[in-house]
Every structure is written in structure tokens, then in C-alpha cells.
Amino acid sequence: MTDRRLEYPATLRNRDAILDVLRGVLPASGLVLEIASGSGEHIVHFARAFPGLTFQPSDPEEAALQSIQAWTLDSGLANVRPPVMLDALSERWPVTAANAVLCINMIHIAPWRATEGLFHGAAKLLPGGAPLYLYGPYRRAGVVTAPSNEAFDASLKARNEEWGLRDLEIVADLARSVGFSGPVVTEMPANNLSVVFRRV
Ligand SMILES: C[S@@+](CC[C@H](N)C(=O)[O-])C[C@H]1O[C@@H](n2cnc3c(N)ncnc32)[C@H](O)[C@@H]1O
């Protein structure tokens, strides 16, 4: 049988730093929905570390769904649900309630509408106090963007003019407008940020 597991090299470099932050963010029990799970390597790593939580992976791409399923089966973990097809742009998500939402490395590799969809969708399904965790590179007012992030931004825009690093302040404005407090920001390796919003 063909091995459908995708391997994203960045995951091995960032998953433990992300896990450290998640230890202070995720609830002790409940359902964690991941948007844009990609290969599925992150969610399997997190599910192993948090056996008291149930994880719901998702992605809009068929190849990603197959990879997530393959990594989940390979892991033998019982606390990862089968992946669901979920496009953040969609009005109706196939998940209607969760206790936390994660979204790693998506908002700069999708049109701004996807970020709007992410916040609107997450606001509908999270209860008061629940976290929306984002990870990735950002621009920040008053902070010089690292040359590596400037180059990354240019390469993203060359691939798709609607892609590119987002301004953290603009993301925070969007978050407030749909009912989130925050952000609580943690600087991460390689000029990335962990950004946590909480449903008001
Ligand atoms: C760079 S990959 C990141 C995958 C994974 N989170 C990681 O960090 O390894 C970007 C992911 O965003 C997903 N994506 C793009 N547009 C999306 C949208 N509108 N809604 C949900 N996911 C989207 C892609 O299918 C892809 O899996």
C-alpha cells in the first residue's frame, strides 16, 4: 500500500517549542480542533502529549486528509479523530463545538479572507474563555521584520499575491471585532510567534 504520510521538515523543528506553549494554553479535557492540519504531524505529536484531550484534525486538501489519516493510524493513538474536510472560508464548518482551536502556519499562506473565516468560525464554536492558538511569522508595529521573514514574505507574494505575512495589530483588530480578547504573544524560534486569543 502506498505510504500517504507527508513529511514537512519544519514540523520537527517547531513542534516541541509549540508544545511548550500549548501546555499553558490548552484545557485539561475536551475537544481541540486544528484548522489546516497539513501533513498531520503536529496533531499526532500534540495528541501523544495530551492524552486527556481529544483532537480533531482538518484541512481542505485531499492529500492532507490522507496524510493526516495515515499518521494517525501509524501513531496508534485513540484520541485523534478521523480528519474532516474544512475550509476556513466556508460559512458552515463540519464541527460545531470545541474547547480550543489551533491554526499553525496558515494565515500567511492563504488569502486574508481565510483569516476572517478562521476567526468568525472559531468564534461560533468556542465557549467563553476558550483559546484560539495561532503560530507563524508576523509583522508587528515598532518591530523590525527579520530579513528572513521579509524574504519569506516576498516569496509568498510571488507565489500568490493574496498571500503574505500578516500585521499582528490587524489580526488583533479582527479578533476583537468578532469577540476575542488578546493577543498573548510568545516569541518563538526562527522569528515566529505564538499568538493566543481567548473567546470573551
Ligand atoms: C503551510 S501548510 C501548514 C500545515 C501545518 N499546519 C503545518 O504547520 O505543518 C498550510 C496549510 O493551510 C491549509 N489551508 C490553506 N487555505 C486554507 C483554508 N482556507 N482553510 C483551511 N486550511 C487552509 C493548506 O491546505 C495547508 O495544509
Q: What is the pLDDT of residue 159?
A: 98
The minimum-distance atom of ligand 1 relative to the CA of 34 is 6
pLDDT digits (tens, 9 = 90+) for 63-110: 999 999 999 999 999 999 999 999 999 999 999 999 999 999 999 999
C-alpha cell recorded at residue 37: 492540519
Alpha carbon of 10 to ligand 1 centroid (Å): 14
Other Cβ atoms less than 10 A from the Cβ of 151: the count is: 11
Other Cβ atoms less than 10 A from the Cβ of 66: the count is: 17
The protein residue with its alpha carbon nearest to ligand 1, atom 27, reads 38
Q: What is the pLDDT of residue 114?
A: 98
pLDDT digits (tens, 9 = 90+) for 124-182: 999 999 999 999 999 999 899 999 999 999 999 999 999 999 999 999 999 999 999 99
Alpha carbon of 131 to ligand 1 centroid (Å): 19
Annotation: CATH topology of 9-198? Rossmann fold (3.40.50)
Give the amino acid at 44. Answer: V
Closest CA to 94 of 55, 62, 125: 125
How does DSSP assign 95-150, residue by residue? ----SEEEEES-TTSS-HHHHHHHHHHHHHHPPTT-EEEEEE-EEBTTBPPPHHHH
- The pTM (predicted TM-score) of the whole model is 0.98
